[in-house]
Structure 1
Amino acid sequence: MKLIDNDDKEISEINMTPFVDIILVVLIIFMATATFMVEGKIPLNLPNSKTAQKKEIKEKKIQITIKKDGSLFLNGKPITKAQLKEELKNKDKDITVVLRSDKDTKFQNVVSVIDICKQSGLEKYMIETKKE
């Protein structure tokens, strides 16, 4: 099938403008989503351990992160100590708590989080470290 314009001449090339537009839109979407994937991680300098073992948790778990400045995150979302208490009261008591703490965090901050967990009835803990 031949493409013919108004002058009854054959069109010898395909217009690439719509194709380029679609490729640029896909590229912009890819760049935007790739940025969000990186921002979801909380930067931490985990403590080193020579005896660290990799263990997969198959049962339910929650992750509590304590940054160097003492700020808390529950499953990646910022939270205060009071909010953490309320959230943990509603959790299943068999759940495993994974503690992630910056190696320069004051130990008192870690103890405070463990106290909150114990007051909420949570007794299973794991401390995440980085193997040397």
Structure 2
Amino acid sequence: MRVPTNLKRGEAEFNMTPMIDVVFLLIIFFLVSSHLAKQEAQMPLPLPAAESGHEIVDDQMARVVINIEADGTLILAGRRVPAEQLVERFAAERERSGDSIEVRIRCDRATPYANVKPVMLAATEAGIWSIAFSVIRPEDAP
């Protein structure tokens, strides 16, 4: 009597190559995007000095950093942005990140308030109520 063998069927196997490719692409994406976020917060601007204030240590909140140069140029995500586009850009970030989002304003110390006001209005129109200013301590000021 012959004993039946199941050698022809074999076990079902998964091809892991596509999954590994996707994982590597995700890793590269997050590395590049985190590098750009750090680079934006380190843009050389002479920040204003402040006597009061506190250092924010809550890194769990999503954050949009906007830089305002002395001449009023707005820089968001490393690109110049006209003030008219801020509401839709902030609204898109709010939809993507949810309600717990903060707008961090980094402006040159020579920037007049007239250049900061449109940014604050755009944030509130987009439904973002958490707005913070980047400043330095007086003893650290040049």
* TM-score calculated relative to the size of structure 1: 0.64
Of Structure 1 and Structure 2, the greater helix share is in 2
User: For residues 69-112 of structure 1, what are the alpha-carbon distances to aligned partners after superposition, in whole Å with 9 as ceiling and x for unaligned?
Assistant: 00001133321112222211212232111111111101011111
SS at match of 2:133: strand
> Counterpart in 2 of 1:95?
101
- The correspondence of residues 114-129 of structure 1 with structure 2, limited to 5 A, is 114-129=120-135
> Counterpart in 1 of 2:86?
84
- The correspondence of residues 102-117 of structure 1 with structure 2, limited to 5 A, is 102-117=108-123
- Between Structure 1 and Structure 2, how many residues are aligned? 95
> Counterpart in 1 of 2:73?
71
Q: Does 1:49 align with 2:50?
A: yes
Structure 1 gap segments, 5+ residues each: 1-36
* RMSD after superposition: 2.0
1:68 is matched by which residue type in structure 2?
Answer: A
Aligned-residue offset at 1:68: 0.2
* 8 A contact 1:42–1:76 mirrored in 2: no
User: For residues 106-131 of structure 1, what are the alpha-carbon distances to aligned partners after superposition, in whole Å with 9 as ceiling and x for unaligned?
Assistant: 10111111001111111001111011
% identity of equivalent residues: 24
User: For residues 9-40 of structure 1, what are the alpha-carbon distances to aligned partners after superposition, in whole Å with 9 as ceiling and x for unaligned?
Assistant: xxxxxxxxxxxxxxxxxxxxxxxxxxxx9x96
Structure 2 gap segments, 5+ residues each: 1-35
